[in-house]
Amino acid sequence: MRRYFGVIVAIFIVIAILVGMSAAGAIEFDRPVENEFAPNRSTYNSGQTGTRALYQLLEESGTPVTRWRSHYSSLYTEAKDSILVIIGPFPSGQNISEEEAIVLQDWISTGGRALIISRSPIEQFGDPAILAKAPEKLPAKDATPEQFINKESDKLIVQPTELTRKVRGLAFSDFASRMSFRNMADGAEGTIKAEPPKNTGEEEKEKKEKEEEEDSAPALYAPVIHLGDKDGAALADFTYGEGRVIFLSDPFVVANNGISRGGNLTLAMNILGSMGAPERRILFDEFHHGYHTGGNPLVNYFRGTPAPWLLLQGLGLSLLIVYTYSRRFARPLPLPQVARHSPLEFVGSMANLQQAAQARELALENIYPRFKASLCHRLGLSSRASRDEIITGARRRRFPISEIELRQTLSDAEMTLAGKPIDDARLLTLVSRMRQIISQIQAPRA
């Protein structure tokens, strides 16, 4: 035990280090602190800045709702007659690309419906016509919801509309931005390059084609402002081509720590209802929160938990145990020396010879005399007693053995010794019966 003491202590030290690493990893890396400056708006997130509460509320109320984890190019085939809900901001590295913005805008213009909830909606929609102005003074980083809720949020209600119906006690946050929209056709910035003169007919024709093209292209034009103030809109509604897009500038309204406050839930349900819910399916964009269809569902389930760290550390510990078992931590020991002249070796050799020669009666000659001598000794008879004398003695002594079984055993053994053929199975059965009879007559009687 003393020579293994160092190894045991080393193993305990390694286990303690692994446990410490697991605790440190879980605290510092796997569970980052959530606040309004670093939110996680995923519907998988049950933290204060997540949106899992709204998703589960819709799901449990029977509204058709699901998580969208595919590229926007699949919207045309898999999101027909659906409402796409995009909640920003997205994690680092998951921002919408220019190609995806074009696909999203085209899908909406062909009849899609989208609800974009973000303090910087241009990052989720990609149209430079959107301008979002952040508040000049932001609340403290450690402020609680009670400290950064705008007590005068009801003043943002511009007019009674379908979206603001029965909304009382609205609880917007002081982080909410104000949106404004410009017509890029009228106010586009750029440099006009000089071109060679053209004849009047060609100029009028090109001008007419350009006007027709601008009229047919969808644009963020003439919004219906439902919430806002002198600084800009907080809830704007657009008809975009054949579709519809709504912008809400404060994700706190639908976050886990804000959905139940005041009239926020009523506002959220009014918005979804005006877009066609529950008749239309609601899709929450999780693709840009890092949850892709091609990913492993098990990995996605354990994302943000200490489970991956525990698995890696368990694997390291298992490899360490295997390594310790494959190493010798003491002096080498000589192999055990087996005596080559033991009686058991002689018995084993004779047994092999008898089995190879199929001399079963010879094996029985070594077993039956001992069986008969033990039986006669217990019955008080001579070792030369006949079969009938043995059976009579057993009946007289009243041993708990079957007279028929005893007679059959003695008869089979004597006939085999006299030359009757016997196979291995019958020989094994006969010897087993002999051992059973000896054990019965040697057992103490009550």
* Per-residue pLDDT tens digits for 402-412: 888 888 888 88
pTM of the model: 0.58
pLDDT digits (tens, 9 = 90+) for 107-148: 999 999 999 999 999 999 988 899 999 999 999 988 999 999
Q: Region 237-257: what's the mean pLDDT?
A: 95
pLDDT of 85: 97
For residue 218, give every residue at least 6 positions away whose Cβ sits within 8 Å of its Cβ, in sequence order, or none: 105, 108, 109, 240, 241, 243
What's the pLDDT at 116? Answer: 96
**CB count in 10 Å sphere of residue 315:** 10
Alpha-carbon distances, residue 79 vs 62, 118, 179, 205, 262 (angstroms): 19, 22, 28, 39, 32
Quote the pLDDT of residue 45.
92
Q: Is 45 helix (H, G, I), strand (E, B) or coil?
A: coil
pLDDT band, very low/low/confident/very high, at 327 (cuts 50, 70, 90): low
d(CA 424, CA 430) in angstroms, rounded, equals 10
Query: How far is the C-alpha of 190 from the C-alpha of 318, rounded, in Å?
Result: 65
CA atoms within 13 A on the CB side of 181: 21
Q: What is the pLDDT of residues 261-286, one digit of tens each?
A: 999 999 999 999 999 999 999 999 99
Condensed to tens digits (0 to 9), the pLDDT of residues 167-209 reads 999 999 999 999 999 875 554 433 323 333 445 556 665 665 5
> What digits encode the pLDDT tens for the residues 277-314?
999 999 999 999 988 876 566 666 666 667 777 788 78
CA distance 278 to 61: 10
Quick one: pLDDT at residue 189? 39
Averaging pLDDT over each range in 17-21, 313-317, 375-379, which range is the top one?
Answer: 375-379
Tell me the backbone φ, ψ of residue 319, rounded to 5 degrees.
-65, -35
Measuring CA to CA, how many Å separate 239 from each of 215, 244, 413?
14, 5, 106
Mean pLDDT for 371-384 is 85
Inform me whether the pLDDT recorded for 8 exceeds 60.
Answer: yes
- Cis previous bond, 223, omega within 30: no
CA–CA separation, 144 and 91 (whole Å): 23
CA distance 84 to 68: 8
pLDDT recorded at residue 338 = 67
The band of 328, judged by pLDDT with boundaries at 50, 70 and 90, is low
For residue 327, how many other CB atoms are within 10 A of its CB?
A: 8
Find out whether 114 and 238 touch, Cβ atoms under 8 Å: no
Question: CA 364 to CA 360: how far, in whole Å?
Answer: 6
Q: Which residues contact 41 (CB under 8 A, 6 or more apart)?
A: 49, 50, 51, 87, 88, 89, 251, 255, 289
Asked whether residue 159 carries a pLDDT value surpassing 70, the answer given is: yes
Confidence of residue 380 (pLDDT cuts 50, 70, 90): confident
pLDDT at 242: 92
How many Cβ atoms from other residues are within 10 Å of residue 117's Cβ? 25
Q: Is the pLDDT of residue 11 over 60?
A: yes
Most confident range, picked from 18-22, 268-272, 350-354, 438-442: 268-272
- Bridge partners (DSSP) of residue 235 are 227, 248
pLDDT one-digit tens code per residue, 29-88 = 445 678 999 999 999 999 999 999 999 999 999 999 999 999 999 999 999 899 999 999
pLDDT of res. 197:
41
Closest CA to 284 of 30, 53, 34, 127: 53
pLDDT at 165 over 80: yes
pLDDT category at 395 given cuts 50, 70, 90 is confident
Looking at residue 57, what is its pLDDT?
Answer: 95
**Domains along the sequence of the chain with CATH:** 32-186+214-303 (3.40.50), 343-442 (no CATH)
